[in-house]
Copies of this chain bind each other. A is one copy, B any other.
């Protein structure tokens, strides 16, 4: 007999989707950033410089919590995320947002109650699900999580954590409205819960409302960010901003894995110092928004799909209005892969597909939608 986590862990549908996705001609499954905009040369130079300047020190064990030089660079960087830190805010460097959420879940949860958007990102959510007994699915619309619905539910059950992806939602593509961000923080205070604000898309989001954390005066919001979208996911560097004891403890919990590469932390610090990250923010927001425009126009033209036009990011969540499982089977044979979005839903979602614009070219996006339409019609026949 193993642990509860050991018994319940399973292959994530996203991981499965990306294994299938890689084998199919048009890959609209993958959540990886567009390979064409990964700054290979700049990263190569950064490794060279770091090894030159720091020598062996760049390859020592990382300290728990992150390398001070990177923390300092992140401190200078966060204002461009529309986040101003106060004296009590601390930065904890992590191996990306996924690791951040694993640390947060480990810190807070022992078979507790959590509330999440329905749908939510199944992969980050897994870390919470495996440590909670009750999950409250809160409806999501074009304005993000329905906070009034959360307000009603929390009259009866109090969650310990509320997990939110406020910008370029994965899989739904929506942004949470300014009013709801504010209302969520007020509710957190009234009902005594913590908010996990998972915000990895902000650096490539363009213009979005301020972080939920910026409304928080009580240290109830734990902010999670990442360099995966703005630099590259393979470095595995992200960070948490949280207050006082929570930040201290999350940083101590890193002693259990010491998983964030020291040299990669210095590489990210180098790129931040050179202004590469800030410079790319506008360019990448435009890049992805152009690709997304092609997708939404193609979907509109096809005339049979229902979806909320994504505000930013990589994904559109599309209602195929027929069994997505069967469409998936037909489409993959025809050269298109996507992620069957049922897995993102705590209830419903059988007809939903998540389409990503990062890997395919403009032409492939158009062709992908054609295949998708054909597959839907085929299944409906």
Contacts and interface: CB of A to CB of B under 8 A. Distances in A.
Interface of A: 2-6, 9-12, 15, 19, 31-32, 35-36, 38, 40, 43-44, 47-48, 51-52, 55-64, 95-96, 98-99, 102, 106-110, 123, 126-127, 130-131, 228, 232-236, 249, 252-253, 255-264
**Secondary structure class of chain A's binding surface, majority of residues:** helix
Contacts of A109: 3
A32 B6 contact: no
B255 A236 contact: no
Nearest to A52: B44
A47 to B, nearest CB: 4
Contacts of A261: 95, 234-236, 261, 264
Chain B CB within 10 A, most for which of A4, A36, A123, A232: A232
A6 B106 contact: yes
A44 B255 CA distance: 27
Given A47-B47, A123-B255, A126-B255, A233 B61 contact: yes
Contacts of A10: 252
Contacts of A126: 255-256
Given A2-B107, A6-B106, A259 B99 contact: yes
Contact of A59 (B48, B131, B232, B262): B232
Nearest to A233: B61
Nearest to A104: B6
B106 A234 contact: no
A62 B64 CA distance: 22
Contacts of A12: 255
B44 A257 contact: no
3 closest cross-chain pairs (CB), A and B:
A234-B262, A95-B259, A59-B234
